[in-house]
Amino acid sequence: MIGGILKPRLQKRVVTIFVIAVLIPCVFLGYLGLKSIKQEKQWQQQLVLENLKRSLSLAVDHIESSLDDQIRASFRQLSPPRQLTASHVTSLRTFSTQSSLVQGVFFLDNNVRVVFPKTFRDVDVDEMKDRSTLRLQESEYLRAGDLFEVQGKLDEALTEYQRGFSSRLSKPLQAAFLSRIARCQFKKTDYGNARKTYQRIIDEDHNQFYGEGMPYVLVAHLQLLEIAEKESPSLATSNQLLDFYGMLVGRSDKLEHAQYSFCLDHVKSRLQRQQQFLSQSQRATLDSIVRLEKEVEDEQSFRDFLQTNALPGIKQEINSKWNENSRFNDSDGRKDIRYLSGQSDSAAWTIGVRVNDDAESPVRFIGIRIRRNALTDAALAVLKESEPPEEVRIALLDAADRTLFPAGLSAATVVLTKPFSRFEELAAGTKLALVAMGGNPLEAISSKSLLIYYVLLGSVIVLIALGIVFILRDISREEEISAMKSEFIANVSHEIKTPIATIRTLAENLNEGWVTGQEQQQEYFHLIEREAERLTHLVENILDFSRIDKARRSYRMELSSIGDVTRKAIRRFRLLVDGQGVVIKENIESNLPPCNLDVEAYEQALLNLLDNAVKYSRDEKVVEVSARRQKDSIVVAVADCGIGIGKKDSERIFDKFFRSPPPDGRKIPGSGIGLTLVKEIIEAHAGTIEVESEIGRGSTFTLSFPLSNDSTKRSVG
Residue 62 has a pLDDT of: 86
Distance CA 701, CA 293 (A): 116
Residue 214 has a CB neighbour count (10 Å cut-off) of: 17
HSE at residue 27, side-chain half, CA atoms within 13 A, is 6
418 near 60, Cβ under 8 Å?
Answer: yes
Higher pLDDT, 716 or 183: 183
Residue 328 has pLDDT above 50, yes or no: no
Domains along the chain with CATH numbers = 125-302 (1.25.40.10), 518-706 (3.30.565.10)
Residue 584 has a CB neighbour count (10 Å cut-off) of: 18
Starting from the edge strand earliest in sequence, which strands make up the sheet with 633-640, in order?
A: 583-588, 622-630, 633-640, 698-706, 688-694
Distance CA 605, CA 681 (A): 7
Distance CA 383, CA 434 (A): 12
Higher pLDDT, 488 or 343: 343
185 near 193, Cβ under 8 Å?
Answer: yes
Residue 155 has a pLDDT of: 92
| Cross-strand pairs, 705 | 634
106 three-class SS: strand
Indicate the pairing of strand 633-640 with strand 698-706: antiparallel
Nearest Cα residue to 29 out of 461, 447, 453, 455:
461
User: Strand ranges (DSSP E) for 35-134?
Assistant: 102-108, 114-116
User: Strand ranges (DSSP E) for 632-713?
Assistant: 633-640, 688-694, 698-706
Share of the chain above pLDDT 90, in %: 8
Indicate the pairing of strand 698-706 with strand 583-588: unpaired
7 near 479, Cβ under 8 Å?
Answer: yes
Distance CA 707, CA 705 (A): 7
pTM exceeds 0.85 for this model:
no
3-state helix vs strand vs coil in the chain, percent to 5: 60, 15, 30
Distance CA 580, CA 573 (A): 12
Residue 129 has pLDDT above 60, yes or no: no
Distance CA 90, CA 513 (A): 155
Distance CA 300, CA 121 (A): 12
- Eight-class DSSP state of 391: S
Distance CA 181, CA 154 (A): 10
604 near 541, Cβ under 8 Å?
Answer: yes
Starting from the edge strand earliest in sequence, which strands make up the sheet with 348-355, in order?
A: 114-116, 102-108, 365-370, 348-355, 338-343
pLDDT digits (tens, 9 = 90+) for 227-257: 887 776 555 578 888 998 998 888 888 888 8
pLDDT digits (tens, 9 = 90+) for 8-64: 665 666 667 766 766 677 776 666 766 776 776 677 767 777 877 788 888 888 888
Non-local (6+) Cβ contacts of 417 within 8 A are 56, 397, 431, 432, 433, 434
DSSP run (H or E) holding 707: none
Distance CA 587, CA 589 (A): 7
Residue 611 has a pLDDT of: 83
Distance CA 116, CA 523 (A): 147
484 near 658, Cβ under 8 Å?
Answer: yes
Note the residue count of the chain: 717
| Cross-strand pairs, 341 | 350
CA distances from 8 to 3, 4, 334, 344 (A): 8, 9, 90, 94
Residue 333 has a pLDDT of: 43
| Cross-strand pairs, 692 | 700
Distance CA 685, CA 714 (A): 9
pLDDT digits (tens, 9 = 90+) for 528-575: 766 676 667 666 656 555 655 555 567 888 888 888 888 888 888 887
